[in-house]
Chains A and B, each alone.
Chain A
Amino acid sequence: MSESKTLDISRRAFLSGAGAAAVGAATLVTPGVSQAATSDVPRWGMVMDLRRCIGCRACTVACKSENDVSLGRFRAVITEKTTGTFPNTKKTFLPLMCNHCEGNKKDGVPPCVKACPEYPGKRAKFTTPDGQKITYRTGATYKRPDGLILIDKEKCIGCGKCIDACPYGVRSFDPFVKAGGDPTKQAADKCDMCAHRVDNGLEPSCVNTCQGRARIFGDLNNPNSEISKLVKKHNLAQDANVLLPDKGTDPHVYYIDPDNLLHAIYTERKKKKLDHFVDQIT
Protein backbone atom coordinates (compact mmCIF):
# COMPACT_ATOMS: atom_id res chain seq x y z
CA MET A 1 0.00 0.00 0.00
CA SER A 2 1.19 3.44 -0.73
CA GLU A 3 2.11 5.87 1.93
CA SER A 4 -0.63 8.18 2.94
CA LYS A 5 -0.02 11.39 1.18
CA THR A 6 -1.71 14.60 0.55
CA LEU A 7 -2.01 15.38 -3.10
CA ASP A 8 -0.44 18.52 -4.28
CA ILE A 9 -3.58 20.03 -5.60
CA SER A 10 -2.69 22.92 -7.75
CA ARG A 11 -4.67 26.07 -7.59
CA ARG A 12 -5.97 25.41 -11.05
CA ALA A 13 -7.17 22.00 -10.04
CA PHE A 14 -8.71 23.48 -7.02
CA LEU A 15 -10.54 26.16 -8.88
CA SER A 16 -11.98 23.64 -11.24
CA GLY A 17 -13.46 21.93 -8.26
CA ALA A 18 -11.19 19.01 -8.59
CA GLY A 19 -11.01 17.69 -5.18
CA ALA A 20 -13.24 16.99 -2.29
CA ALA A 21 -9.91 16.26 -0.70
CA ALA A 22 -9.32 19.89 -0.42
CA VAL A 23 -12.24 20.24 1.91
CA GLY A 24 -10.02 20.37 4.93
CA ALA A 25 -7.59 22.80 3.47
CA ALA A 26 -10.11 24.70 1.41
CA THR A 27 -10.48 27.58 3.79
CA LEU A 28 -6.80 28.27 3.49
CA VAL A 29 -7.04 28.93 -0.20
CA THR A 30 -8.97 31.59 -1.97
CA PRO A 31 -12.21 29.90 -2.79
CA GLY A 32 -12.61 29.57 -6.49
CA VAL A 33 -15.90 28.86 -8.07
CA SER A 34 -17.84 29.66 -4.99
CA GLN A 35 -16.38 33.06 -4.41
CA ALA A 36 -18.71 35.97 -4.63
CA ALA A 37 -16.98 38.85 -6.26
CA THR A 38 -18.94 41.43 -4.39
CA SER A 39 -19.61 41.67 -0.72
CA ASP A 40 -23.16 40.57 -1.38
CA VAL A 41 -24.29 37.26 -0.14
CA PRO A 42 -24.05 34.76 -3.00
CA ARG A 43 -27.14 33.28 -4.58
CA TRP A 44 -26.26 29.82 -5.76
CA GLY A 45 -27.92 28.38 -8.80
CA MET A 46 -27.44 25.92 -11.61
CA VAL A 47 -27.76 26.09 -15.36
CA MET A 48 -28.45 22.88 -17.24
CA ASP A 49 -27.38 23.15 -20.86
CA LEU A 50 -29.59 20.58 -22.55
CA ARG A 51 -27.54 20.83 -25.73
CA ARG A 52 -24.60 19.35 -23.87
CA CYS A 53 -26.24 16.61 -21.84
CA ILE A 54 -25.46 13.27 -23.47
CA GLY A 55 -27.30 11.14 -20.92
CA CYS A 56 -24.13 9.49 -19.62
CA ARG A 57 -25.31 9.36 -15.97
CA ALA A 58 -21.96 10.30 -14.50
CA CYS A 59 -23.83 12.94 -12.47
CA THR A 60 -26.30 10.42 -11.11
CA VAL A 61 -23.57 8.12 -9.89
CA ALA A 62 -21.29 10.91 -8.67
CA CYS A 63 -24.17 12.11 -6.51
CA LYS A 64 -24.78 8.62 -5.15
CA SER A 65 -21.13 8.35 -4.25
CA GLU A 66 -20.62 11.84 -2.85
CA ASN A 67 -23.69 11.67 -0.64
CA ASP A 68 -23.94 7.95 0.10
CA VAL A 69 -27.43 7.91 -1.31
CA SER A 70 -29.11 4.59 -0.58
CA LEU A 71 -30.57 2.40 -3.28
CA GLY A 72 -34.15 3.06 -4.24
CA ARG A 73 -33.99 6.81 -4.40
CA PHE A 74 -31.93 9.55 -5.98
CA ARG A 75 -30.90 13.10 -5.30
CA ALA A 76 -30.24 13.78 -8.95
CA VAL A 77 -31.47 11.95 -12.02
CA ILE A 78 -31.50 12.03 -15.77
CA THR A 79 -34.87 11.33 -17.31
CA GLU A 80 -35.01 10.28 -20.91
CA LYS A 81 -37.86 10.23 -23.33
CA THR A 82 -38.22 8.94 -26.86
CA THR A 83 -40.62 10.84 -29.08
CA GLY A 84 -41.67 10.83 -32.73
CA THR A 85 -42.28 8.09 -35.25
CA PHE A 86 -39.60 6.11 -37.03
CA PRO A 87 -37.48 7.27 -38.77
CA ASN A 88 -38.09 10.71 -37.31
CA THR A 89 -37.46 9.62 -33.78
CA LYS A 90 -35.86 11.75 -31.11
CA LYS A 91 -34.61 10.99 -27.67
CA THR A 92 -34.13 13.65 -25.05
CA PHE A 93 -32.22 13.74 -21.80
CA LEU A 94 -33.38 15.94 -19.01
CA PRO A 95 -31.33 16.30 -15.82
CA LEU A 96 -33.44 16.88 -12.71
CA MET A 97 -32.55 17.88 -9.19
CA CYS A 98 -33.79 20.14 -6.42
CA ASN A 99 -34.53 23.54 -7.91
CA HIS A 100 -33.41 25.39 -4.80
CA CYS A 101 -36.47 27.60 -5.24
CA GLU A 102 -36.62 31.14 -4.05
CA GLY A 103 -40.29 30.73 -3.13
CA ASN A 104 -43.27 32.80 -4.16
CA LYS A 105 -43.10 36.53 -4.63
CA LYS A 106 -45.15 37.30 -1.52
CA ASP A 107 -43.15 35.73 1.26
CA GLY A 108 -40.14 34.21 -0.46
CA VAL A 109 -40.68 30.84 1.18
CA PRO A 110 -40.60 27.74 -1.05
CA PRO A 111 -43.42 25.19 -0.59
CA CYS A 112 -41.20 22.57 1.06
CA VAL A 113 -40.05 25.03 3.68
CA LYS A 114 -43.55 26.28 4.20
CA ALA A 115 -44.74 22.72 4.75
CA CYS A 116 -42.14 21.99 7.40
CA PRO A 117 -43.70 21.99 10.88
CA GLU A 118 -40.30 22.85 12.32
CA TYR A 119 -40.09 26.05 10.30
CA PRO A 120 -39.60 28.79 11.31
CA GLY A 121 -37.31 27.62 14.05
CA LYS A 122 -34.41 29.24 15.85
CA ARG A 123 -32.50 32.09 14.32
CA ALA A 124 -29.08 31.36 12.89
CA LYS A 125 -26.33 33.46 11.42
CA PHE A 126 -24.91 33.14 7.94
CA THR A 127 -21.52 34.63 7.28
CA THR A 128 -20.96 36.22 3.89
CA PRO A 129 -17.60 35.97 2.16
CA ASP A 130 -16.63 39.40 3.46
CA GLY A 131 -17.58 38.54 7.00
CA GLN A 132 -21.02 40.10 7.28
CA LYS A 133 -23.46 38.16 9.37
CA ILE A 134 -26.97 37.63 8.12
CA THR A 135 -29.67 36.28 10.38
CA TYR A 136 -32.12 33.74 9.03
CA ARG A 137 -34.71 31.34 10.38
CA THR A 138 -33.84 27.68 10.52
CA GLY A 139 -36.18 24.71 10.39
CA ALA A 140 -35.93 21.06 9.56
CA THR A 141 -36.20 22.32 6.01
CA TYR A 142 -35.07 25.88 5.51
CA LYS A 143 -33.61 28.32 3.07
CA ARG A 144 -30.16 29.62 3.71
CA PRO A 145 -29.41 33.22 2.75
CA ASP A 146 -27.29 31.95 -0.14
CA GLY A 147 -30.39 30.34 -1.59
CA LEU A 148 -29.66 26.72 -0.77
CA ILE A 149 -32.62 24.77 0.51
CA LEU A 150 -31.23 22.51 3.19
CA ILE A 151 -32.45 19.82 5.55
CA ASP A 152 -31.45 19.62 9.18
CA LYS A 153 -31.91 15.93 9.88
CA GLU A 154 -31.44 16.49 13.59
CA LYS A 155 -34.51 18.68 13.62
CA CYS A 156 -36.52 16.65 11.11
CA ILE A 157 -39.50 14.81 12.58
CA GLY A 158 -39.98 12.55 9.57
CA CYS A 159 -43.50 13.76 8.90
CA GLY A 160 -43.03 13.72 5.13
CA LYS A 161 -44.92 16.95 4.57
CA CYS A 162 -42.04 18.50 2.62
CA ILE A 163 -41.91 15.41 0.43
CA ASP A 164 -45.54 15.89 -0.51
CA ALA A 165 -45.20 19.64 -0.84
CA CYS A 166 -42.40 19.63 -3.42
CA PRO A 167 -44.05 19.90 -6.82
CA TYR A 168 -40.94 18.39 -8.40
CA GLY A 169 -40.88 15.33 -6.18
CA VAL A 170 -37.18 15.50 -5.45
CA ARG A 171 -37.46 14.56 -1.79
CA SER A 172 -37.55 11.13 -0.19
CA PHE A 173 -37.03 9.46 3.16
CA ASP A 174 -33.47 8.39 3.88
CA PRO A 175 -33.67 4.77 5.06
CA PHE A 176 -30.34 5.14 6.82
CA VAL A 177 -30.89 8.31 8.80
CA LYS A 178 -33.38 8.59 11.60
CA ALA A 179 -35.26 11.82 12.02
CA GLY A 180 -33.60 13.56 14.95
CA GLY A 181 -36.90 15.04 16.08
CA ASP A 182 -38.65 11.68 16.06
CA PRO A 183 -36.30 8.71 15.95
CA THR A 184 -39.16 6.35 15.16
CA LYS A 185 -39.21 7.90 11.69
CA GLN A 186 -36.72 8.39 8.89
CA ALA A 187 -35.42 11.81 7.97
CA ALA A 188 -36.22 13.56 4.71
CA ASP A 189 -33.41 13.88 2.19
CA LYS A 190 -32.71 15.60 -1.10
CA CYS A 191 -30.06 17.42 -3.10
CA ASP A 192 -28.33 20.05 -0.99
CA MET A 193 -26.21 21.29 -3.89
CA CYS A 194 -23.32 19.55 -2.11
CA ALA A 195 -23.33 22.33 0.47
CA HIS A 196 -20.34 20.71 2.19
CA ARG A 197 -18.34 21.18 -1.00
CA VAL A 198 -19.75 24.56 -1.93
CA ASP A 199 -18.96 25.89 1.53
CA ASN A 200 -15.39 24.89 0.93
CA GLY A 201 -15.04 26.39 -2.49
CA LEU A 202 -15.76 23.32 -4.58
CA GLU A 203 -18.34 22.70 -7.23
CA PRO A 204 -21.08 20.19 -6.50
CA SER A 205 -20.07 16.64 -7.33
CA CYS A 206 -22.42 16.34 -10.32
CA VAL A 207 -20.91 19.46 -11.86
CA ASN A 208 -17.39 18.29 -11.24
CA THR A 209 -17.94 15.10 -13.20
CA CYS A 210 -20.07 16.39 -16.07
CA GLN A 211 -18.09 15.66 -19.22
CA GLY A 212 -20.40 17.64 -21.46
CA ARG A 213 -20.16 20.68 -19.17
CA ALA A 214 -23.93 20.61 -19.23
CA ARG A 215 -24.12 21.64 -15.58
CA ILE A 216 -22.90 25.09 -14.70
CA PHE A 217 -22.94 26.04 -11.06
CA GLY A 218 -22.28 29.43 -9.61
CA ASP A 219 -23.30 32.69 -8.00
CA LEU A 220 -26.23 34.39 -9.66
CA ASN A 221 -25.59 37.54 -7.64
CA ASN A 222 -22.21 37.94 -9.22
CA PRO A 223 -22.72 39.44 -12.68
CA ASN A 224 -19.29 38.21 -13.74
CA SER A 225 -19.86 34.59 -12.91
CA GLU A 226 -20.22 32.14 -15.78
CA ILE A 227 -23.70 31.26 -14.67
CA SER A 228 -24.85 34.88 -14.60
CA LYS A 229 -23.44 35.43 -18.06
CA LEU A 230 -25.27 32.37 -19.34
CA VAL A 231 -28.54 33.43 -17.76
CA LYS A 232 -28.16 36.79 -19.45
CA LYS A 233 -26.99 35.49 -22.81
CA HIS A 234 -29.70 32.88 -23.15
CA ASN A 235 -32.33 34.90 -21.33
CA LEU A 236 -32.95 32.08 -18.93
CA ALA A 237 -34.71 33.99 -16.18
CA GLN A 238 -38.09 33.39 -17.72
CA ASP A 239 -40.85 30.85 -17.49
CA ALA A 240 -39.81 28.94 -20.57
CA ASN A 241 -36.48 27.98 -19.01
CA VAL A 242 -37.52 26.61 -15.64
CA LEU A 243 -39.68 23.72 -14.53
CA LEU A 244 -43.31 24.29 -13.55
CA PRO A 245 -43.19 28.10 -13.59
CA ASP A 246 -46.90 28.27 -12.82
CA LYS A 247 -46.26 26.88 -9.35
CA GLY A 248 -44.75 30.18 -8.36
CA THR A 249 -41.77 28.51 -6.79
CA ASP A 250 -39.18 30.58 -8.62
CA PRO A 251 -36.74 27.72 -9.36
CA HIS A 252 -33.06 28.49 -9.50
CA VAL A 253 -32.14 25.69 -11.85
CA TYR A 254 -32.34 27.09 -15.38
CA TYR A 255 -32.33 25.13 -18.61
CA ILE A 256 -30.71 26.19 -21.86
CA ASP A 257 -33.24 24.68 -24.19
CA PRO A 258 -33.11 25.96 -27.77
CA ASP A 259 -35.26 23.10 -29.04
CA ASN A 260 -38.04 23.70 -26.53
CA LEU A 261 -37.75 20.20 -25.16
CA LEU A 262 -38.32 21.08 -21.56
CA HIS A 263 -42.01 21.65 -21.57
CA ALA A 264 -42.62 19.04 -24.19
CA ILE A 265 -41.24 16.23 -22.11
CA TYR A 266 -41.43 17.27 -18.47
CA THR A 267 -44.60 16.38 -16.69
CA GLU A 268 -45.57 17.28 -13.19
CA ARG A 269 -45.33 14.48 -10.69
CA LYS A 270 -48.46 12.62 -9.88
CA LYS A 271 -49.69 13.36 -6.43
CA LYS A 272 -47.87 11.39 -3.72
CA LYS A 273 -45.75 9.65 -6.32
CA LEU A 274 -42.01 9.81 -6.70
CA ASP A 275 -41.58 7.33 -9.48
CA HIS A 276 -40.65 9.95 -12.03
CA PHE A 277 -37.61 10.80 -9.96
CA VAL A 278 -35.85 7.51 -10.58
CA ASP A 279 -32.99 7.23 -13.03
CA GLN A 280 -33.55 4.38 -15.46
CA ILE A 281 -32.07 3.59 -18.85
CA THR A 282 -34.53 1.81 -21.10
Chain B
Amino acid sequence: MGTNWKESAESAKFRSNIYGLLATVFRKEPSEALIKELRDPRLAGVFQDLGVDLGEVLKDIPEHEVVETLSIEFTRLFIGPKDHISAHESIFTQLDGGMSALWGTTTVAVKSFIETAGLDYKQEFTGIPDHISVELEFMHKLAQWEAEKWEQKESKSAEYCQSIQRMFLEQHLSCWLPRFCEEVMDKTSVPFYRNMAELTRNFMRFEQQSTAH
Protein backbone atom coordinates (compact mmCIF):
# COMPACT_ATOMS: atom_id res chain seq x y z
CA MET B 1 0.00 0.00 0.00
CA GLY B 2 1.55 3.22 -1.12
CA THR B 3 1.12 6.08 1.27
CA ASN B 4 0.13 9.43 -0.07
CA TRP B 5 1.98 11.39 2.61
CA LYS B 6 0.84 14.74 1.40
CA GLU B 7 -2.80 13.84 1.20
CA SER B 8 -2.77 12.26 4.62
CA ALA B 9 -1.06 15.27 6.11
CA GLU B 10 -3.53 17.61 4.45
CA SER B 11 -6.43 15.59 5.67
CA ALA B 12 -5.21 15.65 9.24
CA LYS B 13 -4.52 19.34 9.02
CA PHE B 14 -8.01 20.02 7.77
CA ARG B 15 -9.55 18.06 10.59
CA SER B 16 -7.31 19.91 12.99
CA ASN B 17 -8.51 23.20 11.61
CA ILE B 18 -12.16 22.34 12.06
CA TYR B 19 -11.56 21.17 15.61
CA GLY B 20 -9.67 24.35 16.28
CA LEU B 21 -12.47 26.48 14.91
CA LEU B 22 -15.09 24.71 17.00
CA ALA B 23 -12.91 24.84 20.10
CA THR B 24 -12.60 28.57 19.67
CA VAL B 25 -16.32 29.00 19.24
CA PHE B 26 -17.22 27.05 22.37
CA ARG B 27 -14.31 28.10 24.57
CA LYS B 28 -15.82 31.40 25.62
CA GLU B 29 -17.66 34.45 24.44
CA PRO B 30 -16.41 35.62 21.03
CA SER B 31 -13.80 38.33 20.75
CA GLU B 32 -13.95 41.13 18.26
CA ALA B 33 -10.96 39.54 16.53
CA LEU B 34 -12.93 36.36 16.02
CA ILE B 35 -15.85 38.26 14.58
CA LYS B 36 -13.48 40.00 12.20
CA GLU B 37 -12.07 36.68 11.08
CA LEU B 38 -15.51 35.20 10.58
CA ARG B 39 -16.44 38.21 8.52
CA ASP B 40 -13.49 37.66 6.21
CA PRO B 41 -15.09 36.99 2.83
CA ARG B 42 -12.91 33.93 2.33
CA LEU B 43 -14.42 32.28 5.38
CA ALA B 44 -17.81 33.91 5.34
CA GLY B 45 -18.23 32.84 1.74
CA VAL B 46 -17.60 29.23 2.56
CA PHE B 47 -20.07 29.33 5.41
CA GLN B 48 -22.59 30.81 3.06
CA ASP B 49 -21.93 28.17 0.42
CA LEU B 50 -22.42 25.47 3.01
CA GLY B 51 -25.67 26.99 4.19
CA VAL B 52 -24.31 27.94 7.60
CA ASP B 53 -26.06 31.08 8.73
CA LEU B 54 -23.78 33.19 10.91
CA GLY B 55 -26.61 35.51 11.87
CA GLU B 56 -25.51 38.69 13.60
CA VAL B 57 -21.91 38.07 12.66
CA LEU B 58 -22.57 39.06 9.09
CA LYS B 59 -25.03 41.83 9.78
CA ASP B 60 -23.98 45.39 9.24
CA ILE B 61 -23.38 46.23 12.87
CA PRO B 62 -20.16 47.08 14.70
CA GLU B 63 -18.13 44.12 15.95
CA HIS B 64 -18.42 45.14 19.56
CA GLU B 65 -22.20 45.00 19.31
CA VAL B 66 -22.04 41.54 17.82
CA VAL B 67 -19.75 40.52 20.63
CA GLU B 68 -22.19 41.93 23.18
CA THR B 69 -25.17 40.09 21.70
CA LEU B 70 -23.35 36.80 21.36
CA SER B 71 -21.78 37.12 24.81
CA ILE B 72 -25.17 37.48 26.43
CA GLU B 73 -26.41 34.45 24.55
CA PHE B 74 -23.26 32.50 25.40
CA THR B 75 -23.78 33.28 29.09
CA ARG B 76 -27.45 32.39 28.95
CA LEU B 77 -26.75 29.15 27.12
CA PHE B 78 -23.65 27.87 28.84
CA ILE B 79 -22.93 29.84 32.02
CA GLY B 80 -26.12 30.69 33.86
CA PRO B 81 -26.99 31.80 36.45
CA LYS B 82 -30.37 30.35 35.55
CA ASP B 83 -31.21 27.46 33.28
CA HIS B 84 -28.21 26.76 31.15
CA ILE B 85 -26.56 23.89 29.37
CA SER B 86 -23.48 22.89 31.24
CA ALA B 87 -20.99 22.19 28.48
CA HIS B 88 -19.21 19.35 30.21
CA GLU B 89 -19.03 15.70 29.32
CA SER B 90 -19.71 14.46 32.83
CA ILE B 91 -23.02 16.31 32.84
CA PHE B 92 -24.13 14.41 29.79
CA THR B 93 -22.61 11.06 30.44
CA GLN B 94 -24.74 8.27 31.81
CA LEU B 95 -21.87 6.32 33.26
CA ASP B 96 -21.35 8.56 36.18
CA GLY B 97 -23.28 6.75 38.82
CA GLY B 98 -25.45 8.81 41.08
CA MET B 99 -22.39 10.80 41.96
CA SER B 100 -21.76 14.35 41.08
CA ALA B 101 -22.63 15.69 37.71
CA LEU B 102 -20.05 18.42 37.57
CA TRP B 103 -16.48 17.17 37.79
CA GLY B 104 -17.59 13.58 37.83
CA THR B 105 -15.63 10.41 37.25
CA THR B 106 -15.84 11.06 33.53
CA THR B 107 -14.07 14.37 34.05
CA VAL B 108 -11.26 12.49 35.69
CA ALA B 109 -11.08 10.07 32.78
CA VAL B 110 -10.91 12.91 30.24
CA LYS B 111 -8.24 14.72 32.19
CA SER B 112 -6.21 11.59 32.56
CA PHE B 113 -6.54 10.78 28.86
CA ILE B 114 -5.34 14.23 27.85
CA GLU B 115 -2.48 14.18 30.29
CA THR B 116 -1.45 10.76 29.15
CA ALA B 117 -1.04 12.25 25.69
CA GLY B 118 1.59 14.55 27.15
CA LEU B 119 -0.48 17.71 27.47
CA ASP B 120 -1.09 19.74 30.59
CA TYR B 121 -3.91 22.00 31.61
CA LYS B 122 -2.71 25.56 31.74
CA GLN B 123 -2.65 27.25 35.11
CA GLU B 124 -4.76 30.10 33.81
CA PHE B 125 -7.45 27.81 32.44
CA THR B 126 -10.29 28.21 34.92
CA GLY B 127 -12.72 25.83 33.30
CA ILE B 128 -13.42 22.23 34.15
CA PRO B 129 -11.26 19.61 32.43
CA ASP B 130 -14.01 18.00 30.37
CA HIS B 131 -15.37 21.22 28.93
CA ILE B 132 -16.43 20.84 25.31
CA SER B 133 -13.79 23.25 24.12
CA VAL B 134 -11.02 21.33 25.84
CA GLU B 135 -12.02 18.09 24.21
CA LEU B 136 -12.18 19.81 20.84
CA GLU B 137 -8.86 21.50 21.42
CA PHE B 138 -7.36 18.17 22.33
CA MET B 139 -8.50 16.67 19.03
CA HIS B 140 -7.21 19.77 17.28
CA LYS B 141 -3.79 19.18 18.78
CA LEU B 142 -3.75 15.47 18.09
CA ALA B 143 -4.71 15.97 14.44
CA GLN B 144 -2.08 18.65 14.15
CA TRP B 145 0.54 16.29 15.52
CA GLU B 146 -0.68 13.60 13.17
CA ALA B 147 -0.25 15.94 10.23
CA GLU B 148 3.30 16.69 11.31
CA LYS B 149 4.09 12.99 11.48
CA TRP B 150 2.76 12.44 8.00
CA GLU B 151 4.91 15.28 6.80
CA GLN B 152 7.90 13.69 8.50
CA LYS B 153 6.92 10.42 6.84
CA GLU B 154 6.57 8.72 10.19
CA SER B 155 3.55 6.73 9.24
CA LYS B 156 3.67 4.49 12.29
CA SER B 157 3.40 7.41 14.68
CA ALA B 158 0.77 9.07 12.51
CA GLU B 159 -1.33 5.93 12.46
CA TYR B 160 -0.92 5.45 16.16
CA CYS B 161 -2.08 9.01 16.65
CA GLN B 162 -5.10 8.21 14.51
CA SER B 163 -5.91 5.31 16.76
CA ILE B 164 -5.68 7.54 19.82
CA GLN B 165 -8.02 10.04 18.21
CA ARG B 166 -10.41 7.22 17.36
CA MET B 167 -10.26 6.06 20.96
CA PHE B 168 -10.98 9.53 22.29
CA LEU B 169 -13.85 9.92 19.85
CA GLU B 170 -15.35 6.62 20.82
CA GLN B 171 -14.80 6.89 24.55
CA HIS B 172 -15.64 10.53 24.91
CA LEU B 173 -16.62 12.99 22.21
CA SER B 174 -19.12 10.90 20.33
CA CYS B 175 -20.76 9.77 23.59
CA TRP B 176 -22.10 13.17 24.33
CA LEU B 177 -21.28 15.86 21.84
CA PRO B 178 -24.15 15.07 19.43
CA ARG B 179 -26.64 15.26 22.29
CA PHE B 180 -25.09 18.43 23.56
CA CYS B 181 -25.37 19.99 20.11
CA GLU B 182 -28.98 19.01 19.76
CA GLU B 183 -29.68 20.49 23.14
CA VAL B 184 -28.10 23.76 22.07
CA MET B 185 -30.00 23.75 18.79
CA ASP B 186 -33.17 23.27 20.74
CA LYS B 187 -32.48 25.98 23.30
CA THR B 188 -31.20 28.88 21.25
CA SER B 189 -32.79 31.07 18.68
CA VAL B 190 -29.57 32.90 17.95
CA PRO B 191 -28.50 31.65 14.51
CA PHE B 192 -24.79 31.74 15.23
CA TYR B 193 -24.91 29.26 18.11
CA ARG B 194 -27.66 27.16 16.59
CA ASN B 195 -25.66 26.78 13.41
CA MET B 196 -22.37 26.20 15.16
CA ALA B 197 -24.00 23.48 17.18
CA GLU B 198 -25.43 21.91 14.07
CA LEU B 199 -22.11 22.19 12.29
CA THR B 200 -20.46 20.49 15.22
CA ARG B 201 -22.99 17.70 15.24
CA ASN B 202 -22.57 17.18 11.52
CA PHE B 203 -18.83 17.17 11.86
CA MET B 204 -19.11 14.55 14.59
CA ARG B 205 -21.14 12.35 12.27
CA PHE B 206 -18.56 12.82 9.57
CA GLU B 207 -15.76 12.00 11.97
CA GLN B 208 -17.49 8.90 13.24
CA GLN B 209 -18.06 7.67 9.71
CA SER B 210 -14.63 8.46 8.38
CA THR B 211 -12.72 7.10 11.34
CA ALA B 212 -14.76 3.95 11.66
CA HIS B 213 -12.87 1.01 10.35
Residues of A within 8 A of B (CB): 64, 68-71, 176-177
- By a CB distance below 8 angstroms, the chain A residues around B95 are 176
Chain B's closest residue to A175 (CB) is B98
- By a CB distance below 8 angstroms, the chain B residues around A64 are 98
Q: How far is the CA of A232 from the CA of B62 in the complex (A)?
A: 84
Answer whether residue B37 sits at the interface, using C-beta atoms and an 8 A cutoff.
no
Answer whether residue B65 sits at the interface, using C-beta atoms and an 8 A cutoff.
no
Q: How far is the CB of B120 from chain A (nearest CB, A)?
A: 16
Known pairs A71-B98, A176-B94; list 12 more (Cβ under 8 Å). Answer: A64-B98, A68-B97, A68-B98, A68-B99, A69-B98, A70-B97, A70-B98, A176-B95, A176-B96, A176-B97, A176-B98, A177-B97
Count class of interface residues, chain B:
under 10
Q: Quick one: CB contact mask for B22-52 with A, threshold 8 Å, 1 for yes? A: 0000000000000000000000000000000
Q: How far is the CA of A69 from the CA of B96 in the complex (A)?
A: 11
Tell me the residues in window 97-123 of chain B with beta carbons closer than 8 Å to chain A beta carbons.
97-99
- By a CB distance below 8 angstroms, the chain B residues around A177 are 97
Chain A's closest residue to B100 (CB) is A68
Chain B's closest residue to A67 (CB) is B98
Q: How far is the CA of A130 from the CA of B29 in the complex (A)?
A: 63
14 A-B pairs with C-beta separation under 8 A: A64-B98, A68-B97, A68-B98, A68-B99, A69-B98, A70-B97, A70-B98, A71-B98, A176-B94, A176-B95, A176-B96, A176-B97, A176-B98, A177-B97
- By a CB distance below 8 angstroms, the chain A residues around B98 are 64, 68-71, 176
Q: How far is the CA of A11 from the CA of B97 in the complex (A)?
A: 33
Q: How far is the CA of A68 from the CA of B99 in the complex (A)?
A: 5
Chain A's closest residue to B94 (CB) is A176
Chain B's closest residue to A176 (CB) is B97
Residue from the set B94, B95, B98 with the largest chain A CB neighbour count within 10 Å: B98
Q: How far is the CA of A177 from the CA of B94 in the complex (A)?
A: 9
- By a CB distance below 8 angstroms, the chain A residues around B94 are 176
Residue from the set A64, A68, A71, A177 with the largest chain B CB neighbour count within 10 Å: A68
Q: How far is the CA of A177 from the CA of B96 in the complex (A)?
A: 9
Q: How far is the CA of A64 from the CA of B100 in the complex (A)?
A: 12
Q: How far is the CB of A151 from chain B (nearest CB, A)?
A: 15
Q: How far is the CB of A26 from chain B (nearest CB, A)?
A: 22
Q: How far is the CA of A69 from the CA of B99 in the complex (A)?
A: 8
Q: How far is the CB of A74 from chain B (nearest CB, A)?
A: 11
Q: How far is the CA of A64 from the CA of B94 in the complex (A)?
A: 18
Chain A's closest residue to B105 (CB) is A68
Q: How far is the CA of A70 from the CA of B101 in the complex (A)?
A: 12
- By a CB distance below 8 angstroms, the chain B residues around A71 are 98
Q: How far is the CB of B123 from chain A (nearest CB, A)?
A: 12
